[in-house]
Structure 1
Amino acid sequence: MMSGTPINPNPARAEAVLSRLQLLVTRKLDGLLQGDYLGLLPGPGTEAGESREYRPGDDVRRMDWPVTARTTVPHVRRTVADRELESWMAVDLSASLDFGTGRWLKRELVVAAAAAIAHLTVRGGNRIGAVVGTGPGRAAGPGSGGSGPGSGSATGGSGVLRLPARPGRKEAQGLLRTIAGLELRPGRTDLGALVDALNRPPRRRGMAVVISDFLAPPEQWGRPMRKLAVRHEVLAIEVVDPRELELPDVGVLAVVDPESGELHEVQTADPRLRRRYAAAAAAQRAAIAHELRAAGAAHLRLRTDSDWLLDMVRFVAAQRHARTRGTTR
């Protein structure tokens, strides 16, 4: 049911999958969401700029009190306009993603979600970058340490590959090719460290997207998510397979944990076992949703057995509607 052997994807297959994804994303997202941003909209800005004297009609919420106290003349703080959006993705490619019983593997769904995010954000000079976790140890794969589109560098021995934020669709495609071609390694990525990598170095306010199955304990990644949401608009994309939610009645089932390599035989004909499994899975997903809400992150769940593009279109449309009414998140 699961395999713990690391996979080094066939480059030709990865390229074919990306080409098909690009066609799907372009057709559906451009047709239904033309002109929309997934996250922050360009506007007057939130970054502090220079101060100037107060003039009648200025927004009193922008009063610069330290300068006003020092000069005894009312001053307001200017802000730097947000003309471009910088987005970063934290992409979890732990060994647990090498699994799927629906139309997609979870790994393929992660790449698909990254492709959709890139398509929705890279326009008008916007930049997109990524940090990718491939399990314990030094990250390796196409684009690591090279030059040109999608090249990046691993940060120490944490198994985190950083792909710098660059503008343009060509650079975004290079980033996606690098992600799709990375090798999955046995073991679990430290999701907390992966999310925390989005906080370093400090950046201007932007959008941060975390794509994972979130199977790591919530206490590992909850605090970094809350820290990330203090400054950035955060979207969490949870990738789920139906077999992670309930067991089918197929008799004795041999299951291998891809992150530890442990083999277990499960008697799925036992209805009590299936009920306990479903209850535990529901509790796990509820804990994940609760932690994401506590962090203030928008939450999108994609399943390997459903139309993920339609789910994403509905989510973006709902976000747009909520934003126009001032009720995002």
Structure 2
Amino acid sequence: MFERLRARRRRGAETAASAASAATPAGPDLVSVGTKRTESLLRRLEWTVVRRLDGLLQGDYRTLFRGFGLDLADLREYRPGDDVRHIDWNVTARLQTPHVREFQEDRDLSAWFVLDLSGSIEFGSGEVRKRDLLNDFTTVMALLLTRYGNRIGAVLYGGSADTDASMIPPRSGRRQLLHLLDRMHATPAACPGETRLRDLLERARAVAKRRSVMFVVSDFISTPGWQTSLGMLARRHEVVAVRLVDPLEMALPDLGLVVLQDAETAEQMFIDTHDPAFRKRFAAAAEAREAELRLAFARAGVECLTLSTYAPMDLALLRFTRERRFRQGAAKAATKAATKSSTTAPPRNAA
């Protein structure tokens, strides 16, 4: 009899606890961290992309990016905004140009995902949208970074109506990864109005106090003025611009009379894609925009990783990693050669 009463009490307590948990809203750190969609995305990308990239973007104790480690990795010319404590005065005296030291980052690396979730990100001419690319890239890089004890954070921007981009403080662990992905999926598709990428970059510069790796993921379709903010962000942080593109944005096929609608302003335009002169003008405008973006990234000192909705993401990441390592090796060899030549050169006033 007493056993039956205890069983009833236990069942009643469990029922009340489950009802209370269902009625109580979860806090910001517990928002749907175990959703089936997030777990399935993690499993799919871990098998298709992460296993192929593991060990190439970073090893067990060293990363591909530079930071506050103890081992000297490279020397480069001083840029405005660099920490003067990292100036190598011996090399500066020999080359007559200020040079700063770059150190190989150890396990403790902070990475930020600066995510543009405006209306143009929802575009995709095929089965894959640019937003799908954004989700997959963020998931892959977050998996690779968190499994070695690094910290990840994010700044999410939903459009011009989003006056204050939401921020996720950097933490480590799988729980932080799931929380970031859940917040990313829960962000609304878009807010009406043109994208102001400058606001997103300024928000990222304000919240990231410590030197970090910044992945700016966007299609860079925005109102002018973001180039200066990107350069200011790159002065303090290691910035990688991840550009999302779709082939239909570069060239229009012959589809006849079509109606195009702006994904951000909802403005509609009736065009004739059968006109070869119009398609030629469209391609010329797209090429001019490509040249403008390349110039903006070069002036800011930012490397660009381009991801296309019609190309495998893992191949693009592998190619970017190899090119980055090649450039770092070439720059290091050139600096060593210049240092060696300056030390072996005879004095100017020698007979």
Q: TM-score, normalised by structure 2?
A: 0.70
Residue 182 of structure 2 aligns with an amino acid whose one-letter code is R
Hey, what does 1:325 align to over in structure 2? Answer: 330
Contact 2:161 2:193 in 1 (8 A): no
Deviation at 1:190, TM superposition (A): 1.7
Q: Looking at CA atoms only, which structure, 1 or 2, has the larger radius of gyration?
A: 2
Contact 1:109 1:239 in 2 (8 A): yes
Residue 242 of structure 2 aligns with an amino acid whose one-letter code is I
Hey, what does 1:143 align to over in structure 2? Answer: none
Deviation at 1:327, TM superposition (A): 5.8
Question: Do residues 266 (structure 1) and 271 (structure 2) align?
Answer: yes
Residue 225 of structure 1 aligns with an amino acid whose one-letter code is L
Give the distance between the partners of 1:183 and 1:202, measured in 2 at CA.
24
- Helix, strand or coil at the partner of 1:43: coil
Query: In the alignment, which of 130, 137, 143 is matched to residue 113 of structure 1?
Result: 137
Contact 1:33 1:317 in 2 (8 A): no
Give the distance between the partners of 2:286 and 2:151, measured in 1 at CA.
37
Aligned length: 274
Query: In the alignment, which of 286, 291, 304 is matched to residue 281 of structure 1?
Result: 286
Give the distance between the partners of 1:242 and 1:181, measured in 2 at CA.
27
1:112-261 to 2 correspondences below 5 Å = 112-138=136-162, 158-185=163-190, 186-201=192-207, 203-217=209-223, 219-261=224-266
Q: Which has the higher contact order (CA 8 A, sep 6+)?
A: 1
Deviation at 1:32, TM superposition (A): 5.1
Deviation at 1:15, TM superposition (A): 5.5
1:95-110 to 2 correspondences below 5 Å = 95-110=119-134
Hey, what does 2:336 align to over in structure 1? Answer: none
Structure 1 unaligned runs (5+)?
A: 1-10, 50-58, 64-78, 139-157
User: Residue deviations 1:208-238, cap 9 Å, x none?
Assistant: 1100000114x42111111011111110011
Higher helix share goes to which structure?
2
Contact 2:49 2:314 in 1 (8 A): yes
Counting aligned pairs with the same residue, the percent is 35
Give the distance between the partners of 2:318 and 2:240, measured in 1 at CA.
14
Hey, what does 1:94 align to over in structure 2? Answer: 118
Contact 1:235 1:297 in 2 (8 A): yes
Q: 1:168 to 1:12 in 2, by over 3 A?
A: closer
Query: In the alignment, which of 309, 317, 335 is matched to residue 312 of structure 1?
Result: 317
Structure 2 unaligned runs (5+)?
A: 1-34, 72-81, 93-101, 334-351
> What is the RMSD computed on CA atoms of the aligned residues?
2.9
Deviation at 1:170, TM superposition (A): 2.9
User: Residue deviations 1:130-161, cap 9 Å, x none?
Assistant: 101011334xxxxxxxxxxxxxxxxxxx1411
Q: TM-score, normalised by structure 1?
A: 0.75
